Each structure stands twice: as C-alpha cells, then as structure tokens.
Amino acid sequence: MRVLLHGCNGKMGQVMTRILAQTPDAEIVCGVDVAPDKVKNSYPVYDSLSQVKETPDVVIDFSHHSALDALLDYGTSRKVPLVICTTGFTPDERQRMVEASRVIPILNSANMSLGINLILSLVKQVAPILAESFDIEIIEKHHNQKADSPSGTALMIADAINSSLGNRLKFTYGRHSKTARREPVELGIHAIRGGAIVGEHTVIFAGQGEVIEITHSAISRDVFAYGALRAARFLVGKAPGLYGMDDVLRVN
C-alpha cells in the first residue's frame, strides 16, 4: 500500500512515519507539509499537494482543517481515497467533505482509536437504559497545545449519546457564570488542557445512589497511527462514500 502522508512533519505525522516504517506491506511514497524542511525524512516532502509527482494508493491526513479544500481537490481530481484524521471542522467544511465523498471514498473520524470507537458503541447501548434517572456528563483532557475545545472526540461521544436518545438532549459547554440548577435535558461537556496529556475521555452517568463512569485513556499517540493504518487498508478499493471507524470495525 502506497501512502501519501499529509501533515507529515507534525507530531502525529512523525508518529505515522515511524509506524509505517515498521509495516512491511505499506510505504510512504511522499509527504506534504507546510514546513517541508522541518524534519529530514526518508521520503520526498512537498509544501503543497499540487507538487506531488508520485501515485499513492491512499492519503492519510494529520494536518489542519484549513487544508481541507486542497485535500479534497487533490483526492477528487486524482481519484485517491482519503483517510482524514484531522479535527475541528466547521459544518460547511463537513458538507464539502460529504460532497467530495460522492466522487471518492473518504473516511473521517475525530478519533482513530479503536477503543474510542468501541466506547461509542457502548454509550449508545447504555444511555437509553440510564437516561431517565441518570445525569450524563462528559469530561475530556488533552495536552496544552491542543487548539480546539471541546475535542472532536468529546463531541462525537455526545452526538452518539444524543442520537440514541432521539436527539432530545441539550449540550452545555462548561457552566461558568451559570446560577440555575442543572436541567434534566442537559448533557454537560467539559474540557481540560494541561501538560502532555495525550487524550482522556470520561462519560459520567450520575444517579441518585450510584455513579457509572466509562473512561478511555490514550497512553501514546501510537494508538491513533495504528487506527489510521487500519482505516487506510479498509478504504483502498472501496466505492465512493463517507465512511467512519464504525465501518472499519464492522468489517474487521
């Protein structure tokens, strides 16, 4: 499998570089990064997709949501599948992704971890059972360099819970300056930023005499790279469409 690594010189790009170097049936044929000379890689690196000469089987993207238009243009014009691991997309950007997926296969997830995606399945089962008598809150923790808040993963978990409850919950982002009591239809989402925390997400179901917590902790960034690799293998050869990690887990 021939991979174009988009955002190759960022933190996750370098983790992906290391993981792919250890993968016998995959290789990085080239990379693209806004700072192409930042790291000395074993593959050619360009500062834009328009300069790419190689022919990849798939693009793995760990860049920035602002690069989406160029990424979609490249994928649709070259008919190359895209594994988009970037977060922080606006509704308009997500719509453009949907439109491009009519031409090429695109897999997008706010979190490439297999564990997180299993938790999504779990909360969909648990929430309808507990929602009538339990309050639901989400706490996410990340390193102090993370720009978006709350995390895309926290929103993904919240959406999974809400969809299982007929979308009747109202998201509350923190409670600074709020003096009213918590409403039964609230789903609180709280963000913590500090140090080098890779990523931790906790879903709290708080009842009158008991509390249930479901927590996922990413010990290292390797988990996201392994998930992206599995997603890329899944996507190559697929029909156009917008896929998620739940599709990967269902097939495998």
> What value does the mean pLDDT take over residues 145-158?
91
* Residues 81 and 13 placed together within one structural domain of the fold: yes
List the domain range (segments joined by +) for residue 93.
2-112+221-251
216 is known as an active-site residue: no
Residues 157 and 33 in one domain: no
Domain match, 37 and 105 both: yes
Report pTM.
0.81
Of the listed 141, 142, 190, 216, which one is catalytic?
142
CATH number at residue 62: 3.40.50.720
Please say whether the beta carbons of 23 and 15 come within 8 A.
no
**Comparing 122-131, 166-175, 242-251, which segment has the lowest mean pLDDT?**
242-251
Q: Are residues 34 and 106 both part of a single domain?
A: yes
Q: Are residues 145 and 166 in the same domain?
A: yes
Which of 64, 124, 146, 238 is labelled catalytic? 146
Task: Answer yes or no: 146 catalytic.
Answer: yes
251 pLDDT tier (thresholds 50, 70, 90): low
Decide: 107 and 244 in contact? Cβ < 8 Å. yes
Q: What is the CATH number of the domain that holds 213?
A: 3.30.360.10
- 187 membership: H or E segment, kind and range: strand 186-193
Does one domain contain both 27 and 126?
A: no
Give me the mean pLDDT over the 148-162 stretch: 93
- Regarding whether 236 and 201 lie in a shared domain, the answer is no
